[in-house]
């Protein structure tokens, strides 16, 4: 799950794909008893900005917790002494000249925002968002997920509340339903070109810098 080489040649833990950051940060929302999780990714090529927002309606954090939230030694999990999810995302932001914000209100919820220049050389690839969203749906069936992905003016939205309404009595974790949800996300993301330019830019850069050694 974690890489150990950093683009700057230093050793450290680096998350290899954005989807893994999203999985990790969304896990916090589930632990915080949220029943609605909103994931919004915007690839804005006109302004060279990649924006990622993860918002929940969970128990939130008070100001003292909020101050410590990106400290790797801060965790409210009883089973461990380090909390790496948010500190890793913040580290990715710092490595990519990005910005990182956490906003939280006790009993209302939490919003994590990360923003990057789209053409930064160290930007991780998007990763497999269809598998990530399906994993989140299956992780806790009572948490509804809205996944919105924009590429300039094109938009893809998946809302499990809508899917559940259409399904009626059929559970969302029925294997055929899950397969169909995954297919729909994959097709929807291809249709808007999600991650395409992001990954293409990296491949082109790698080729241009391949010395053949
Ligand atoms: N969405 C959230 N709602 C409420 N509290 C949160 C949320 N996200 C993070 N926190 C608080 O911040 C702490 C640190 O989060 P972080 O993801 O960095 O580490 P962790 O979840 O404790 O451990 P790890 O992610 O390594 O399994 C959490 O233990 C929790 O107290
Ligand atoms: Mg965490």
Q: What's this model's pTM, rounded to 2 decimal places? A: 0.89
- For residue 203, the model assigns a pLDDT of 67
Burial class (CB in 10 A: 0-12, 13-18, 19+), 11: exposed
**53-74 CB burial, b ≥16 within 10 A, e <16:** bbbbbbbbbeeeebeebbebee
Please, what is the average pLDDT of the chain? 89
If DSSP codes are grouped into helix, strand and coil, which group holds residue 172?
coil
- Of all atoms in ligand 1, which is nearest to the CA of residue 110? 1
Helix extents (H) in the chain: 18-31, 63-68, 85-95, 129-139, 160-167, 175-192, 196-208
142 CA to middle of ligand 2, Å? 19
Among left, alpha and beta (phi > 0; psi -120 to 50; other), residue 9 is left
Residue ranges and CATH numbers for the domains of the chain are: 16-208 (3.30.565.10)
* Best residue among 29, 71, 86 to mutate for probing ligand 1, ranked by most atoms within 8 Å of CB: 86
Determine which residue's CA is closest to atom 4 belonging to ligand 1. 60
If DSSP codes are grouped into helix, strand and coil, which group holds residue 171?
coil
- Report which bound ligand comes closest to the CA of 111: 1
Determine which residue's CA is closest to atom 13 belonging to ligand 1. 75
pLDDT digits (tens, 9 = 90+) for 39-90: 999 999 899 999 999 999 999 999 999 999 988 888 888 888 777 889 999 9
Smallest Cα–Cα separation from 61: which of 126, 16, 106?
106
pLDDT digits (tens, 9 = 90+) for 130-188: 999 999 999 999 999 999 999 999 999 999 999 999 999 999 999 999 999 999 999 99
């Amino acid at each position: 799950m974690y890489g150990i080489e950093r683009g700057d040649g230093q050793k450290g833990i680096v998350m290899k794909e954005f989807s893994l950051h999203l999985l990790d940060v969304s896990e916090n929302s589930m632990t915080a008893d949220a029943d609605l999780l909103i994931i919004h990714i915007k690839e804005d090529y006109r302004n060279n900005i990649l924006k990622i927002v993860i918002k929940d309606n969970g128990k939130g954090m008070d100001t003292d917790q909020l101050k410590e939230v990106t400290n790797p030694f801060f965790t409210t999990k009883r089973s461990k002494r380090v909390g790496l999810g948010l500190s890793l995302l913040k580290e990715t932001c710092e490595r990519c000249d990005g910005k990182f914000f956490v906003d939280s209100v006790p009993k209302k919820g939490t919003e994590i925002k990360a923003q990057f220049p789209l053409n930064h050389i160290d930007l991780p690839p998007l990763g497999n968002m269809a598998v990530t969203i399906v994993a989140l749906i299956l992780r806790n069936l009572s948490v509804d997920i809205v996944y919105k992905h924009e590429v300039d003016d094109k938009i893809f939205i998946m809302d499990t509340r809508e899917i559940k309404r259409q399904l009626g009595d059929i559970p969302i974790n029925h294997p055929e339903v899950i397969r169909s949800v995954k297919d729909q996300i994959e097709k929807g993301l291809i249709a808007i070109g999600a991650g395409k330019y992001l990954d293409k830019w990296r491949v082109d850069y790698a080729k241009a810098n391949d010395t053949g050694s």
